[in-house]
């Protein structure tokens, strides 16, 4: 679901073909480039803020008709989404950039097409992410959550049970997922797990890039896929050499077809755990949706909270993308909320807890006392812990 926090751009058409960017936060440097010549060059260091913006611009320019006259524009960027917090600040900036570029060039493109485009072009920054953040950024409707499916992108409104409120709490640990191999390593481990099971089941593993591809190829239910993971993949880590042997390929081919530039050096992969988490998590999504559809039944909110807590345990133990301070937040939440889990990529960032409307203030007070005060933070907490309900997605305001 979309939060109240947002990225806002003030945009004007400029002279020539120059993009000029400034950030209202003076700690971020200004940037300008020729829209016909710029490149997105990411080295070993963390990407600059403006490179995320360039991803959205590049993605949109790539789909403009060839006869389009490129227009330069000036942009001032402001935002209140906490950065590296698992709340999709980078995806919001990429999406806002693509939306503004399309508007400047009077290019008619649907929100669904923009969501797909932004999911692809964010990979210019080096992360092999999915499209959930971009989909909700464009397609969110106020007052309801969304059930999102892919290939093709589809969204369905989901009404939450009455009294459901989510509280977001920042763990005050941060990871820039484009600056490390952690995020891409999980993507690669899932890909390798899918390819090994495909090979075992007689499917051409070259054609399989995701666990979703594998499930589609086998036409199996989630329960079937979970059983296959447990049957075929051993729990101990796989070496790169072992994977090469099982796929009957070479290390060079594996580097080319399955790994990313920043994961080619990795020699050990946990395939069983990653695949088991993904398929069991997908099953939890189904159960969460069913509980929302049947919220008139007794205990619906408790069911949702239990699923969220189970999700965090799996993210912590099987996917291994949590952080001790996130785990502390979730542990504190156990007795004061219906359930809690990390949100976003993990390794830091925020936890999200489900609470009843009448318990919001009490729960936030508990976090302030038992978490934030314990790490020496007693002031300016409004941006670190807050309640939210589903909000609307991207808009253009013309003055």
| Per-residue pLDDT reduced to its tens digit, 204-254 | 999 999 999 999 999 999 999 999 999 999 999 999 999 999 999 999 999
Q: Is the pLDDT of residue 365 over 60?
A: yes
Q: Is 133 a catalytic residue?
A: yes
Q: How much is the mean pLDDT over the chain? A: 91
Strands (E) across 280-363 are located at: 339-342, 350-356
> Of all residues in the chain, what percent carry a pLDDT higher than 90?
73
Residue 155 neighbours by CB under 8 Å, 6+ apart:
135, 139, 146, 147, 148, 149
- Tokens representing 169 are 């709490």
Going by pLDDT thresholds of 50, 70 and 90, the confidence category of residue 335 is very high
Please check whether residue 133 is in contact with residue 88, taking contact to mean a CB–CB distance below 8 angstroms.
Answer: yes
Q: Is the pLDDT of residue 267 over 80?
A: yes
Strands 18-23 and 73-79: parallel
Going by pLDDT thresholds of 50, 70 and 90, the confidence category of residue 65 is very high
Going by pLDDT thresholds of 50, 70 and 90, the confidence category of residue 358 is very high
What pLDDT, on the 0 to 100 scale, is given for residue 380? 77
Reduce the DSSP state of residue 87 to 3 states and report it.
coil
What pLDDT, on the 0 to 100 scale, is given for residue 366? 96
What pLDDT, on the 0 to 100 scale, is given for residue 125? 75
- Residue showing tokens 């020729």: 34
Q: Is the pLDDT of residue 85 over 60?
A: yes
This prediction has a pTM of 0.84
Q: Write down the catalytic residue from 44, 133, 365, 382.
A: 133
Residue 178 neighbours by CB under 8 Å, 6+ apart:
42, 46, 47, 90, 125, 126, 127
Q: Is the pLDDT of residue 86 over 90?
A: no
Q: Is the pLDDT of residue 296 over 80?
A: no
Instruction: Over range 292-300, report the average pLDDT.
Output: 81
Better pLDDT: 233 or 163: 233
Please check whether residue 132 is in contact with residue 384, taking contact to mean a CB–CB distance below 8 angstroms.
Answer: no
Instruction: Over range 1-28, report the average pLDDT.
Output: 92
How many whole angstroms from its chain centre is CA 273?
A: 20
What pLDDT, on the 0 to 100 scale, is given for residue 180? 65
> Of all residues in the chain, what percent carry a pLDDT higher than 70?
95
What pLDDT, on the 0 to 100 scale, is given for residue 90? 85
Strands (E) across 4-81 are located at: 7-13, 18-23, 31-34, 73-79
């Amino acid at each position: 679901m979309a939060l109240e926090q947002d990225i806002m751009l003030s945009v004007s058409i400029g002279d020539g073909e120059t993009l000029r960017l400034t950030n209202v936060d003076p700690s971020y440097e200004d940037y300008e480039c020729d829209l016909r010549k710029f490149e997105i060059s990411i080295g070993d260091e963390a990407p600059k803020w403006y490179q995320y913006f360039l991803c959205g611009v590049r993605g949109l320019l790539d789909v403009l008709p060839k006869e389009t006259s490129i227009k330069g524009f000036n942009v001032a960027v402001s935002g209140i989404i906490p950065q590296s917090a698992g709340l999709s600040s980078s995806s919001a900036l990429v999406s806002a950039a693509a939306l503004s570029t399309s508007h400047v060039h009077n290019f008619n493109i649907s929100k669904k097409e923009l969501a797909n485009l932004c999911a692809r072009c964010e990979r210019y920054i080096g992360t092999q992410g999915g499209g959930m953040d971009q989909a909700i950024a464009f397609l969110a409707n106020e007052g309801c959550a969304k059930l999102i499916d892919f290939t093709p992108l589809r969204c369905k409104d989901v009404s939450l049970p009455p009294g459901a409120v989510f509280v977001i709490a920042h763990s005050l640990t941060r990871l820039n997922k484009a600056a490390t191999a952690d995020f891409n390593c999980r993507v690669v481990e899932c890909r390798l797990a899918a390819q090994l099971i495909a090979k075992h089941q007689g499917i051409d593993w070259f054609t399989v890039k995701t666990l979703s591809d594998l499930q589609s190829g086998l036409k199996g239910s989630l329960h079937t896929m979970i059983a296959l993971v447990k049957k075929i993949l051993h729990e101990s880590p796989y070496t790169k050499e072992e994977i090469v042997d099982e796929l009957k390929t070479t290390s060079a081919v594996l580097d080319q077809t399955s790994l990313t530039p920043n994961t080619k050096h990795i020699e050990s992969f946990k395939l069983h755990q990653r695949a088991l988490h993904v398929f069991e998590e997908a099953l939890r999504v189904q159960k969460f949706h069913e509980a929302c559809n049947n919220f008139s039944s007794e205990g619906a909110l408790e069911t949702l909270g239990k699923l969220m807590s189970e999700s965090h345990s799996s993210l912590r133990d099987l996917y291994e993308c949590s952080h001790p301070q996130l785990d502390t937040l979730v542990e504190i939440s156990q007795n004061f909320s219906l359930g809690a889990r990390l949100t976003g990529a993990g390794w830091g960032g925020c936890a999200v807890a489900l609470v009843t409307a009448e318990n919001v203030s009490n729960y936030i007070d508990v976090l302030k006392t038992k978490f934030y005060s314990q790490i020496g933070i007693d002031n300016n907490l409004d941006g670190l812990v807050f309640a939210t309900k589903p909000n609307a997605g991207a808009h253009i305001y013309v003055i």
